[in-house]
Structure 1
């Protein structure tokens, strides 16, 4: 074989490997790809149509739901990937900051038009129409098959992770293989609330009556969708968290969550009068308020601060992430209940230690958190305020959860 023919054959192999949509081309993909462009990264998302090209597939749209970028929290117009003609390749590009972190999913649709016209009319989408459109679509969401970092999100649909190169370290989550004590799962039948639910009791370190206590809301998520056990154990082994008792409370379902978490005194009375005494029969812990953290996200973030302000003698440390302080005024045209109470001088308990965290890409919640932070500063509460380069997203919350626990329990670390 001549040298020229060898070179030509080699060239043809390379061209085949680089042909967009070829098997070799797809094998080279491992999820989104990015390149640095000045101060940001330009990220390309890929989705492979299992039915092939436009001549063999009925797919008309592949909606891209990126938390804090294309979702209803951002009030952004819906985005769809575009098919590269005559291939099974769909793609979308967008700019992301170097520290950005968030989840995303794809929603293939055989329908061209899914959202109401109000979503695309005017300068900004009509918020409720946008929210309703996404709620319908998310039931059909799929994770990125090219991305190994995928899980089932808080709303029940599959999502995948995207983290830019300079995203902050998330304490403990880089040690997923750390061995841990198996949590105990009990059923709590509440007489006050007239319902029953699962509760997970997780312990780290040596047993003792002075171990601090953390109450984690939306417990089913941290127990099943994104298990927190290895991260907490790793941080305890490293001396960054004290030996502790963690109580993870299931929300039962969306209806119960929406009723019990937003400023509901019966829920917190039931926790104190019924649940915690029962937990103590399984794992001993301290009753001191300054050793007790209540932590939550979204409605759970609202509930955490509500618990601290109303029962500071029991819940002395508050970790609130993306707290829904707009409640009960979803449109954000009026201040939420807790903001109004703090402004008028109600519920100004002293001695709380508070960590507030919200994402810059969840505008309504971010503004509400800034507002309550401003009011808390007038009550002489020690408040730590953190801004996250992300959205309303558990992928951000998981790092804030462990970091917040480390911050609030720092005086207990020797």
Structure 2
């Protein structure tokens, strides 16, 4: 029996985006939204903007995309073709306004970057997660997002067991005299051992991994399965965007405060190893830049680096020139020898992907132990969460029993 488009029975069959594989192995993906006000005769909705990280986001410098209404129904849809390994987050933004973007966004190719970013910035407060998709969280800009992973997307170790029991982390206040500020720090331990030789992982943007996308069950699950060793995880809050932009990009004061103040403060109650080869510093975006900066400047403390979507363009956004850290390495002012590095970036974050390839080339010239991973995704925590656990497993592999 054919169900009528827009009927209750028809909508009951929708569980989020739908896809089908074509003869080339790619997937045609359809996004749906049900207008709660009904058809065009009863609804004031003019657009349903679709912001897909790495596909229709502002990084692509392409015209904004809106779903299209199926005439006479409450159904809106939009289609695209994606590779089998694609993974990303998305949100919907219904709007009653006829013009949410400046005209040059649609008449100019590529669209004016500033106008495009400004249009999206104004719309984000109206963003909603996909009502048809049961999973979601709040993204880095604070608005709701929903996940989508196609069948060939890489495994995300630990994240498929959200109900794994764990001992809740301890949250402490770190009042830094060196930095002149105060922030939250989460201290999380896994396994039953409490010896002083436990490896340590420092996770930047700690507030995200503690609250927006809690990492605790994934780490506990991988430890229970023997894929990660019993360890201490230190998640550092950024305070706010202003402090993040100041402290994470190549800031020696921040890392001196971490070593001289924070690590001794935590060690007083939670012992961990001081060996560089047992210490991982991990971060994304500015945090990815910061993690490699820490390893290069203090290799005797931070011997393992997990950098995801590192902002190696800094401080030359949009310019066709290398960032400060790449230039410093080129001048042989720093050496990466002795470090173990996992470098990861998404092919759909153009500026950062190019910068990471430049960094990779420079690291390989120094014969550093660097593992390169590129993913079919954008500047997206949905990709980073799997890379985070996979990277920890890779960097701590000698510490875990053979499987």
Q: Which residue of 168, 173, 179 corresponds with 1:193?
A: 179
Q: CA 1:347–1:121 in structure 2 vs 1: closer, same or farther (change >3 Å)?
A: farther
User: Hey, what's the Cα distance between the residues in 2 that align with 1:43 and 1:406?
Assistant: 32
Q: Which residue of 132, 147, 168 corresponds with 1:182?
A: 168
What is the count of residue pairs matched by the alignment?
399
CA shift, 1:256, in A, is 1.1
* Corresponding residue number in structure 1 for 2:41: 55
CA shift, 1:196, in A, is 0.9
CA shift, 1:332, in A, is 3.2
Consecutive aligned runs of 4 or more in structure 1 exceeding 3 Å deviation: none
**Paired residues for 1:10-409 under 5 Å:** 14-15=1-2, 18-38=3-23, 39-205=25-191, 206-409=193-396
| Matched position secondary structure for 1:233 | helix
User: Hey, what's the Cα distance between the residues in 1 that align with 2:269 and 2:36?
Assistant: 50
Contact 1:30 1:146 in 2 (8 A): yes
Structure having the higher Rg: 1
Taking only aligned residues, the RMSD between alpha carbons, in angstroms, comes to: 1.1
**Deviation readout 1:36-95 (Å, 9 max, x if unpaired):** 112211011001111111122111111000000000122222110011111111100000
| Matched position secondary structure for 2:94 | strand
User: Hey, what's the Cα distance between the residues in 2 that align with 1:398 and 1:315?
Assistant: 21
Contact 2:61 2:110 in 1 (8 A): yes
Deviates more, 1:300-309 or 1:73-82: 73-82
CA shift, 1:349, in A, is 4.0
User: Hey, what's the Cα distance between the residues in 1 that align with 2:11 and 2:330?
Assistant: 57
Contact 1:69 1:76 in 2 (8 A): no
**Deviation readout 1:172-217 (Å, 9 max, x if unpaired):** 1111111111100111111111111111000011111000000000
TM-score by length of 1: 0.94
TM-score by length of 2: 0.97
User: Hey, what's the Cα distance between the residues in 2 that align with 1:116 and 1:269?
Assistant: 45
User: Hey, what's the Cα distance between the residues in 2 that align with 1:252 and 1:245?
Assistant: 22
CA shift, 1:266, in A, is 1.0
CA shift, 1:333, in A, is 2.1
Contact 2:336 2:363 in 1 (8 A): no
CA shift, 1:132, in A, is 2.2
Alignment gaps of 5+ in structure 1: 1-13
| Matched position secondary structure for 1:35 | strand
User: Hey, what's the Cα distance between the residues in 2 that align with 1:115 and 1:150?
Assistant: 27
Alignment gaps of 5+ in structure 2: none
User: Hey, what's the Cα distance between the residues in 2 that align with 1:263 and 1:239?
Assistant: 35
Contact 1:200 1:248 in 2 (8 A): yes
Contact 1:332 1:364 in 2 (8 A): no
